[in-house]
Structure 1
């Protein structure tokens, strides 16, 4: 996945780049339930809009 404005779901790495934080911050947010994820096949992805809301970014 890429961080283009059309990507509806992101990998943890792409999510971290998008919001400008370390990958570990995203991982911790997922583990504590702050950042929602969805299962897409074998991959756990992060929906773009809820991610941006968590970080207070209007997207």
Structure 2
């Protein structure tokens, strides 16, 4: 479970690329929504910092 956020980060980046290469406005909007969704999921699943861990 600790590494699932890497998957969400990768999906966010893929959707950013697809958003910029989309040909029509509807596709761009759908990819933009997916970018926001995956970014929020990545933030929510990010592992917590351990005490004493350097930033």
| TM-score computed with the length of structure 1 as normaliser | 0.21
Q: Choose 1 or 2 for highest CA Rg.
A: 2
- Higher-RCO chain (CA-CA 8 Å, sequence separation at least 6): 2
| TM-score computed with the length of structure 2 as normaliser | 0.21
Structure having the higher helix fraction is: 2
